Amino acid sequence: MSKLKSIRELQNLTQQELSEKSGVSVRTIQRIESGKEPKGYTLRVLAKALEVEEDELLYKESEQEKSEIVEEKKESKEAVLINYSSLKLINLSSIPFIVIPPLNILVPLVLMLTMKQKNILTKQLISVQILWTIIAPIVFMLGIFLKLGNKFTLIIMILIVLSNVFIILRNAIEIDRNKKLHFMLNFSLI
């Protein structure tokens, strides 16, 4: 959106009203709003009519601002596509299958595809489950190799299962409260 258009709309002015207030034709205002930069006299009278500095009407944005705008558009597009109740269901679907590790990934994955919730948050939920499924047996084997006894092995198994239940429930709470995940990775495994 051009800077002129955004300032005009913030002041609740139509193109016709701005034309009458500034003395600039509606057609010229339309051209400027479609991307042509105002110059000289036109720039001065529009800035005066809108009570802003002239450089506020010039459309000069840095590469950083351009990339921020692109990121905002991507985020808003993804935010629109996320159904948070489905996301919570996909998240909680891992709990019954914690003791059968491949299913704690496959069930949410199938739900993601059938519910058409292939967004960044759902991918993060499944990535966390994949990572947990990789780390859990490693921790268990380390516990066995340390030969600390059967009680310790049982405690490790219980702690591994409880850690995943905690991760799933904490993410469900965060989805409810803030529409985001508490446990996220800096990368995606899917």
Do residues 173 and 106 share a domain?
Answer: yes
The predicted pLDDT at position 60 comes to: 59
81: domain range?
A: 77-178
Is residue 129 domain-resident?
Answer: yes
Give the pLDDT confidence of 59-105 residue by residue, as tens digits.
Answer: 655 444 555 655 665 555 544 467 888 889 999 999 998 888 888 89
Do residues 91 and 121 share a domain?
Answer: yes
Do residues 88 and 36 share a domain?
Answer: no
Tokens of 73: 């558009």
Is residue 49 domain-resident?
Answer: yes
Phi first, then psi, for residue 179 (nearest 5°) are 55, 35
Do residues 120 and 170 share a domain?
Answer: yes
Q: How far apart are CA 84 and CA 92, in angstroms?
A: 12
Do residues 84 and 14 share a domain?
Answer: no
User: Taking 90 as the threshold, does the pLDDT of residue 162 lie above it?
Assistant: yes
Is residue 71 domain-resident?
Answer: no
Do residues 50 and 131 share a domain?
Answer: no
Is residue 72 domain-resident?
Answer: no
Q: How far apart are CA 130 and CA 104, in angstroms?
A: 8
Do residues 81 and 27 share a domain?
Answer: no
Tell me the pLDDT band of 165, cut-offs 50, 70 and 90: very high
Is residue 183 domain-resident?
Answer: no
The predicted pLDDT at position 62 comes to: 45
Is residue 69 domain-resident?
Answer: no
Do residues 22 and 102 share a domain?
Answer: no
CATH of the domain at 26: 1.10.260.40
Tell me the pLDDT band of 163, cut-offs 50, 70 and 90: very high
Do residues 101 and 167 share a domain?
Answer: yes
- Total of domains in the chain: 2
Query: How much is the pTM?
Result: 0.56
Do residues 81 and 38 share a domain?
Answer: no
**In the predicted model, what is the mean pLDDT of residues 35-49?**
86
Q: How far apart are CA 182 and CA 22, in angstroms?
A: 52
Is residue 92 domain-resident?
Answer: yes
Long-range contacts formed by 174-179: CB under 8 A, 24+ apart: 175/84, 175/87, 175/88, 175/91, 175/121, 176/84, 176/88, 179/82, 179/84
Q: How far apart are CA 98 and CA 170, in angstroms?
A: 15
Q: Are 85 and 146 in contact (CB under 8 A)?
A: no
Do residues 86 and 152 share a domain?
Answer: yes
> In this structure, which amino acid lies at residue 101?
P
Long-range contacts formed by 167-171: CB under 8 A, 24+ apart: 167/128, 167/132, 168/91, 168/92, 168/94, 168/95, 171/91, 171/125, 171/128
Do residues 174 and 81 share a domain?
Answer: yes
How many other β-carbons are positioned within 10 Å of the β-carbon of residue 26? 14
The predicted pLDDT at position 5 comes to: 84
Is residue 134 domain-resident?
Answer: yes
